[in-house]
Structure 1
Amino acid sequence: MSKTKKSLKEYKNFLSQYRKINWFNLFFFIFDLIIFILVFAGFLTTICLNELSQKEEKIVSYIVLGLSFYILIKFTVTNFFYSNIYFLKLNIYKKSIEIDSIEIEKNEKIDFVPFWFLVILITINIISTIIINFQADTVFENQPVISACISTMASVLLIPSFSAILNKITEVKKPVVNNYTNLLKQQFVSFKDLFKSCKPGENFEFVYFSDLTLQSKRGIFIIDSTKKNKKINDFNHEIIEIYCKIWAKYYDFLMLTKNQNIKSRSAYSLEREFDKIFINFLEW
């Protein structure tokens, strides 16, 4: 293992403690991949094997057509109604506190979708649409109206959902928030001890940094309306300590990548994960 990879592995292991698997999404992703493999295998069978009887070929074609529509409908529904379609998320903390006999749980999680995942989804659904059009023409060659309806339905399902996923790709590939980049990230060397200047805002609704015109988003901390509840104060400072620890690690990571001019895909992915944490934490 090269020195660079060994160095990056340290930061990958650090971030892995915050990555949590959404088993529901992972199950359906694997399930959809299996369905697609079956569809593609069935499609190749109908066009490459001549041993099938006409009846068997028609049965396989119907199955392929049905499963292809399942993939396309699933693609459309998930893109329109669900923002979190990836099976990993960043779970920064999950803590609970009891206040006046009522347990309050705080869970800060960040959903994200990597570029490669979106490319896989697009590829699967474009191929599925091609298969639907081909099978519709083949199975209903003597019924052009039905064939045209099926092809039209496939296009109607694909186009809007394809547009939605392109928007997701734009979100993934667009540059990191300008204020974050210009004010903090590009000048990170000056802010090694950023969190030492961190102070609670009114009622601990947020925290602000006295060295910069920066503050955290509201909703991350437990509000202390009395301004003197030690339990809440300690709880909120534990959350600050979590972000302080992540910032210290990110600072070291940036120093490493800048000094050694590391520009690998792995380094880029790690950097974007760190970015997501602080873009989500800070108000821009």
Structure 2
Amino acid sequence: MKVLIFGKTGQVATELAHFDGVTSLGREEADLTDPGACEALIAETEADAVINAAAYTAVDKAEEDRETAMIVNAMAPTAMAAAAAARDLPFVHISTDYVFEGGGTTPWRPDDTTGPLGVYGASKLGGEHGITAAGGRYGILRTSWVFSAHGNNFARTMLRLGADRDALTIVADQIGGPTPARDIAAACMRMATALKEDAEKSGTYHFSGTPDVSWADFAREIFAQASLSVAVTDIPTSAYPTPAQRPLNSRLDCSATTSAFGIERPDWRSGLAAVLAELNRA
């Protein structure tokens, strides 16, 4: 199956490039600030499916750059979905736990009421609404806490800081499932294939790593696997203020994804070991 990928340098896009039959479009080929151009690329493609792995992900910057975030995260995916629907092509889109307000301790289900806390979450939710309204074969995959051997992510940041420091303070009251980008890429490809065969599987799904942990405990595991001696002190979110408010509860109920596509939640600890091995080979 031939798949058109929007995104080339992001974490998931980098992993998608390893699959056979994919054509990846970077900013030079596909400018997401021009939704019409993205729509035209899908109208002309010879691909059998489309995956959008590109997004405006600067959560804090989005608070002061709402217009760009909305164009890239809401308007562009809406245009892509409309173009894919017009040609009956499966369209898979990566979304985020930030569409929820993050209260409580119960894992969020795909049909739970949304309530983003900031511009980033609102822009991603806008994209979800546009994709759903397009009426084609679609799969929205909400995920959380993405990490890999590439790009900017928590695991790489901890490795960099841990190499120079023997103690760090890390937020411990935000809970979620770290998710290897490689597993997200594989899930997207599997969803695209399934949607081509069965449009009834269209919908919104969740996918995150297991077990759910705090950022502080995630950091402890990173240091343990990397053999770095770093003391981690738990702090509350209030002690680390940021321009954009973060959800405290990023737990995702992924059972619908398993039922529809046979995709199980990955053990992020194994994914972390693979990332560390890749970094050591580099």
TM-score, scaled relative to structure 2: 0.24
In terms of fraction of residues, the more strand-rich structure is: 2
TM-score, scaled relative to structure 1: 0.24
Larger RCO (alpha carbons 8 Å, 6+ apart): 2
